A and B are shown apart, each in its own frame.
Chain A
Amino acid sequence: MKPSPMSLRAPSREFPKGWYCVADSKEVKVEKLLPVSWLGRDYVVFRDTQGLAKVADAYCPHLGAHLASHDGCIKEGRVICPFHHWGFDTSTGKCTDIPYAKVIPPVSLTFYEVREVNEQIVIWYHPEGLAPDREPYQSDLLKEREWVLFDSRSWTSSAPFCDILENLFDTAHILMLHHAHETPKLGNIEELDYGLKVDYIMDPDKSDQPMKSLTCHISGITLLVQHYEFVGTEALFVFSFTPIDHEYFVQRTHLYLLNNVSPEVMENIGKEFVDRFVMEVDQDMEVLNFKKHLTKPRLCDGDGPILRFRRYSNQFLEKEGV
């Protein structure tokens, strides 16, 4: 079965406003242009001489060459376009050099608002081009403690974009689709400056319960950090969801484990965790990739706080397109 076009499965809308991951931090090096395509646009990602991440429109404002085509490169703090060798300052984006011209015109690369959080480079997108109205969640734990990046995965999905995070609030599918023994209990759901903080309630009477706590931090509807506390160790799960276009988005997931146990123990914990997680995402995708976004779903009493999530996520969406 092939997924039907999104026009049949979701209201036609602009991409939601928010912070979108365009690259992992470690992919982006000083003096190197990384071409990427997201949100129906092309970008180049690079670092200036101070190491600050920059994201620019991929096309030279002079005559439209893709800056990373042919031998386009970064030299001495300047992006050099392969077409006419115009040079643009990596920090300011300003054109500083045209080998054949007498006058340097006031022309600049188009930079996007960038943040580097949780080892990811994220840019701000707003359908009307407005400035950021919030900052993405930054995990202090990830910065302050010693973690091992245990595993990274990525999925390309044809699910309706707004439905991917809704899945967290759809507690009944965890029993049914994922065959879990019990539903996770969502505790406090709190709206904070970056988005939503969700605590799960663990059953203290269960002695076989290896998980002590789970907290989710959702930035807008595009980024997610999950913090797990187990008996003896902890894990951070860093997720990003970025549309390629209106048909597909990419989910990236990085699992960090606290570096406080032996490599063998870490391997065991990590592998079990990843295997279970990958199996669940694969199961989700087998359904989500084909699903429709129902604006009036018929929810029943055992369903989770799906509409609570929708009331939250609505603020990031344009009204339905005309």
Chain B
Amino acid sequence: MNTVIINVEDRHGRIRKVEACCGDNMMEVLRDQGFGVEGTCGGAVSCGSCHIYVDPSLMTQLTPQIDDEAAMLDAIQTEVTVDPTSRLSCQIVVSDYMNGMRIKVAQEI
């Protein structure tokens, strides 16, 4: 199984290199690596706790948002900053092209 290194910026601005396997769920990686990502809904796109900001240069390569993700990102705007690079990490599968990618964990809701 291929692994990639992802540069994750935590909620305090510290950047940490995280090794992840291709095929892993990004929310689970962040949850298990102690970034304070709760993943309350387990990836059912209803809690918004896995919100991240992704590398703008890689945005177009990511799998597009499903309707529920777009609706959820829309809904959390009242609580946290949502910008065009916002994604719910439970909807992102770690892949080869993410090697070296930088992501940022968003503030808690």
Q: How far is the CA of A176 from the CA of B19 in the complex (A)?
A: 80
Query: B75 to nearest A CB, angstroms?
Result: 5
Number of interface residues of A (CB under 8 A): 6
Q: A104 to B76: give the CA distance in the assembly, Å.
A: 8
Nearest CB of B to A92, in Å: 13
Q: Residue A127 at the B interface, CB < 8 A?
A: no
Name B75's closest neighbour in chain A (CB-CB): A103
A106 touches B78 (CB 8 A): no
Chain B interface mostly helix, strand, loop or mixed? Answer: loop
- The distance in angstroms between the C-alpha atoms of A147 and B47, with both chains bound, is 53
Q: Are A105 and B45 in contact (CB under 8 A)?
A: yes
* Residue from A102, A103, A107 having most chain B Cβ neighbours under 10 A: A103
A105 to B50 alpha-carbon distance, docked (Å): 13
* Stretch of B1-9, B25-33, B65-73 that contacts chain A: B65-73
A107 to chain B: which residues have CB within 8 Å?
Answer: 46
- Cα–Cα, bound, A103→B73 (Å): 10
Least Cβ–Cβ distance between A62 and chain B, in angstroms: 8
Are B78 and A103 in contact (CB-based, < 8 A)?
yes
| A105 touching B46, Cβ below 8 Å | yes
> Is B109 an interface position by the 8 A CB rule?
yes
B79 within 8 A of partner (CB):
yes
Task: State A135–B75 Cα separation when bound (angstroms).
Answer: 37
A65 to B75, CA, bound (A): 24
Given the complex of chains A and B, what is the CA–CA distance between A9 and B15 in angstroms? 68
A105 to chain B, nearest CB (A): 4
* Cβ contacts under 8 Å, B41 to chain A: 105
CA A116 to CA B41, docked complex, whole Å: 37
> Contacting A105 at CB < 8 Å: which of B47, B78, B79?
B47
In the bound complex, residues from chain A placing their C-beta under 8 Å from that of B76 are 103
Name the B residues within 8 Å of A105 (CB-CB). 41, 45-48, 71-72, 75
Give chain A nearest CB distance to B8 CB in angstroms.
23
The interface residues of chain B lying within 8 Å CB-to-CB of A102 are 78-79, 109
For window 90-115 of A, CB contacts with B under 8 Å fall at 102-107
Distance A102 CA – B41 CA, assembled complex (angstroms): 15
Contacts of A104 in B (CB 8 A): 75
**Mask: chain A, 23-49; 1 = CB below 8 Å from B; 0 = not:** 000000000000000000000000000
Q: Cα distance A117–B85 when bound, in Å?
A: 50
B38-81 with Cβ < 8 A to chain A: 41, 45-48, 67-68, 71-72, 75-76, 78-79
Contact with B along A190-226 (1 / 0, CB 8 A): 0000000000000000000000000000000000000
Whole-angstrom CA separation of A301 from B70 in the bound complex: 66
- How far is A101 from B37 in the complex, measured between Cα atoms in Å? 17
Residue of A nearest to B47 (CB): A105
- In the bound complex, do residue B79 and residue A106 qualify as a contact, i.e. CB atoms below 8 Å apart? no
Q: How far apart sit A105 and B71, CA to CA, in the bound complex (Å)?
A: 8
**CB-defined contacts of A106 to chain B, threshold 8 Å:** 45-46, 67-68, 71-72, 75
Chain A residue nearest to B71 (CB atoms) is: A106
Chain A residues contacting B71 (CB-CB under 8 Å) are: 105-106
Min distance, Cβ B57 to any Cβ of chain A, angstroms? 29
Against B, the Cβ 8 Å flags (1 = close, 0 = not) of A266-299 are 0000000000000000000000000000000000
> Taking CB as reference atom, which chain B residue is nearest A105?
B46
What residues on A are CB-neighbors of B48 within 8 Å?
A: 103, 105
In order of increasing CB-CB distance, the 3 nearest A-B pairs are A106-B71, A105-B46, A106-B68
Interface residues of B (CB under 8 A from A): 41, 45-48, 67-68, 71-72, 75-76, 78-79, 109
Contacts A103-B75, A103-B78, A106-B71 given; 6 further ones with Cβ under 8 A? Answer: A102-B78, A102-B79, A103-B47, A104-B75, A106-B75, A107-B46
Write 23 A-B pairs (CB below 8 A) sorted by A numbering.
Answer: A102-B78, A103-B47, A103-B48, A103-B72, A103-B75, A103-B78, A103-B79, A103-B109, A104-B75, A105-B41, A105-B45, A105-B46, A105-B47, A105-B48, A105-B71, A105-B72, A105-B75, A106-B45, A106-B46, A106-B68, A106-B71, A106-B72, A107-B46
